[in-house]
Structure 1
């Protein structure tokens, strides 16, 4: 039923032949819930940033770096985690990663200043990066020919977390009377989720290599090295996607509150709408399994640019911003994120699927780490409208240029009979 795994890991890669549909459903649901919490954990910081800046006296530069700098931890965890996923138990690493980012979250309200808060955010990012790398490696291996659809389901879970995180966090902060409350609650939730993964997810699912014997019939057309022209081109697109989406997320609530005069609840709701838009990852993944992903990504970049133009140049009312936040989430997260991560995995051979996941994490999140600082600097130089123009409207053209390097004829192509 399954391919023989590498000889160095044969004992660590059980066959999925005895895994029942119910076990698959339970395991995949738990993994998606864990990633939803991951997203909620990330998103809770953004709408609370104005209160954090006010208490500590952080500048806009410092706030922007704190908002998105944690993704450097995600990036640093990505490539080595990708190697580990090909060699060690992915389930163990997922459990450990949830514990790590929960501890980082717990430490954030205990910070005394910019330096230690930055360290705690970085620790959170390391755990979140390990989990995401392992999760996408599991999805890419177990749902081999339906990986974009499966990744789309994961993207829906992420979008649900982006939607719920600001709303729940804002409610907890209001009830608590302090911005620290949500971080304690989400840290405790992480401990519960780690236990659910340990109990509810089977290693038969997490340690699968490719899923079916037919899935590795012939990949001679795919470059033997995971470091090739296609991964370079897709890597450029991933980096631009990270700069755009996290540049938007990191300071968008600050833009709404300090520039457009929105209230805290309105800003949190607008960010939540971007999470609702990110749930479009499911149809985005479905399309990615059926159409040329290079062209799909190019169209998503163009749509993101158009949405950013309206967001930062024209829209001033709350309803308009809610709609545009939804569209930004749909294009910059639902379409770009989902198809960038699966395209990177399709640019490598099946035995390097974990490495492909790591390459995505590295390229996407290194750029994302500095997106908030870059946006803040652009605000200082050109005001909010100019910052939105250069980073979110013009920059996607570089992503399209990177896609010009991609040769889809040298990538793994999903079978139409397996894609749905």
Structure 2
């Protein structure tokens, strides 16, 4: 009588599948981070090259300010539509298409004949970058549902690294080719390659998760969160997000011009100062860790106070190279590492799990509409009040409004840990 053979025990196959799944998630998440780093490099490279672009085309300070930050209007206009589509269509395909769109916009910038078409190409880049950012934050907000702030911290580190590397690499390409146009060609082509890598490596079951990892039952109740994404919490966070956008992009857009025209910095010094903003933004990782454990209103208040004091020192007191390097780092830490990380994750926590895409879209709308006009506003303030006056009004006093808006936010009506809701 023959003895029947048996297959390998089921737990072994389950463990192997689990390891393969974990590896796929790690690779997919790493590629998402790399793609967002490239996104940041792509958008950041424009700022240190703006003085050269302005000189060639004869743009006014108002036009320069609008070009510097106006692309974020594309990000803002796509926030809500993208959020709506992300709750209904494939997030993975939306990410891939968005990277192609912003890369084509970047490739077109060197072909600009003047202000009008360059503004259009910048807007197209903003549309693609905004949709990609909205989709990435929706993916991590859904898949890493209970640790979304920490996951967002890794995305923030990728963004900060891109902000750090973009000006340095861009300036190097511009100098080697003796043309400001070269970096836009390099980054545009790199974006098209990244779109292919995203398509191949990001698992669909990761990108399309709803409330936690695929296959994991979600038994929590969310009745305490308002049924509508339009609620008092999203209003308060929306105002804080708008103030954050006005502060951070108001600083980013014309800071290199301030260093060049007011403090007479050299191009290499300007590029390094702009890069150190990104180095500061990499504090998003420890900030994300804290945001999963403590009241985000407190962290946002720290971010507003820190960015206010940093801007006051940068525009009114510090004129040395070393001091400006330090202040650029601090602005990145407070305005991006703290404010951006907490605003985007708090907005998602103010809506129910099935509305996470719309939560991401609401953040993009409020943050980037304000950011789009921050450069123009700052330029107008410089024209009437000088650099120090503009810094005082837009970057030092305005954050106080953001702190006041936090009074509208009630953690008991959000998806936060119980100990935070009771605080």
Shorter chain as denominator, the TM-score bin is over 0.9
Q: Distance in 1 between matches of 2:297 and 2:340?
A: 13
| Distance in 2 separating the partners of 1:292 and 1:72 | 30
Q: Of residues 339, 351, 362 in structure 2, which corresponds to 1:348? A: 351
Partners of 1:260 and 1:316 within 8 A in 2: yes
Deviations 1:354-384 (A, max 9, x none): 0000000000000000000000000001100
**Which of 245, 249, 252 is 2:252 aligned to?**
249
Give the conservation status (yes or no) of the 8 Å contact 1:105–1:183.
Answer: yes
Q: 1:373 aligns with which of 367, 371, 376?
A: 376
**1:9 maps to what in 2?**
none
How many pairs were matched up?
A: 401
Q: Per the alignment, do residues 264 and 97 of structure 1 end up closer, same or farther by CA in structure 2, a change over 3 Å counting?
A: same
Residue in structure 2 matched with residue 271 of structure 1 by the alignment: 274
Match of 1:110 in 2: 111
- Cα deviation for residue 414 of structure 1 reads 3.7
CA distance in 1, matches of 2:378, 2:18: 49
Bigger Cα Rg: 2
Once the two structures are superposed, what CA deviation does each residue of 1:112-133 show, in whole Å capped at 9, x if it has no partner? 0000000000000000000000
Counterpart residue number, 2:167: 166
Q: Which residue of 2 aligns with 1:6?
A: none
Q: Compute the displacement of 1:216 (Å).
A: 4.8
1:89 is matched with which residue? Answer: 90
Unaligned runs of 5+ in 1: 1-15
Match of 2:224? 221
- Matched with 1:396 is 399
Structure 2 Cα separation of the partners of residues 404 and 210 of structure 1: 28
Write the distance in 2 (CA, Å) between the matches of 1:105 and 1:415: 45
CA distance in 2, matches of 1:93, 1:100: 11
Which structure 2 residues correspond to residues 195-214 of structure 1 after superposition, within 5 A? 195-211=196-212, 213=216
Structure 1 residue ranges (4+ consecutive) displaced by more than 3 angstroms after TM superposition: 16-19, 212-216
Question: Is the contact between residue 308 and residue 389 of structure 1 (CA under 8 Å) also seen in structure 2?
Answer: yes
Q: Distance in 2 between matches of 1:355 and 1:392?
A: 29
Q: How does 1:15-414 map to 2 (within 5 A)?
A: 20-211=21-212, 213=216, 215-414=218-417
More moved, 223-232 vs 210-219: 210-219
SS at match of 1:319: helix
| SS at 2:162 equivalent | helix
* Separation (CA, whole Å) in 1 of partners of 2:418 and 2:23: 25
Could you tell me how far apart the structure 2 residues matched to 1:214 and 1:373 are?
48
Please give the TM-score of this superposition, normalised by the length of structure 2: 0.93
Instruction: Please state how far the C-alpha of 1:281 moved relative to its aligned partner.
Output: 0.3
SS of equivalent residue, structure 1 residue 370: helix
Q: Cα 1:211–1:382, aligned 2, differ >3 Å: closer, same or farther?
A: same
Per-residue CA deviations over 1:132-178 (Å, capped at 9, x if unaligned) read: 00000000000001000000000000000000000000000000101
**Residue in 1 aligned with 2:4?**
none
Tell me how far apart the structure 2 counterparts of residues 338 and 19 of structure 1 sit (CA, whole Å).
30
* Alpha-carbon contact 1:144-1:215 (below 8 Å) kept: no
Task: Give the Å deviation of 1:215.
Answer: 4.2
Residue deviations 1:287-340 (CA, integer Å, cap 9, x gap): 110100011101110111111111111111111100110000000000000000
Unaligned segments of structure 2, at least 5 residues: 1-16
Instruction: Please give the TM-score of this superposition, normalised by the length of structure 1.
Output: 0.94
